[in-house]
Amino acid sequence: MAQNKVILIVDDDMELSDGLRAVLEKQGFRVIQARDGQLGKQMVYQHRPDLVILDMMMPRMGGYPVLEHFRDKPDAPPIIMITANEGSRHKAYAEYLGVVDYIRKPFAMERLLEAVHRGLAPKEAPPEEEQKDK
């Protein structure tokens, strides 16, 4: 599944971002990085990643404005939000905006990899409405 899949990591914590990149590349993903939400938004349009891992709190533009921007875009990539925030309202808002998963830092790498694979899994087509004979 990792073959040719591109993941964009948007996080201002260079140590975390570089660590995630190393793990994901070892899994066979191609990884690109952005240090803030504004650059992350631009990179989504430039590189069309298959999945985005997005930090909530960053300088210039945090994760929520990015989520709000892509919420109604039909070609938006799946997004996993990572955060050190403990608030349940933040999680509920992120889920409302359509995140694949909301993961609190610190997290086990297996937890993130499960979310990545779930986010990259093929989407099931909605069931077609049955045609009724009249």
Chain mean pLDDT for the chain:
90
pLDDT band at 62 (very low <50, low <70, confident <90, very high): very high
Question: pTM here?
Answer: 0.89
Q: Where are the beta strands (DSSP E) in the chain?
A: 6-10, 30-34, 51-55, 79-83, 101-104
Range 107-119 average pLDDT: 96
**Tokens 């939400």 -> residue:** 37
pLDDT of res. 125: 54
pLDDT of res. 132: 46
- Tokens describing residue 128: 């077609």
Give the 3-state secondary structure of residue 80. Answer: strand
pLDDT of res. 85: 85
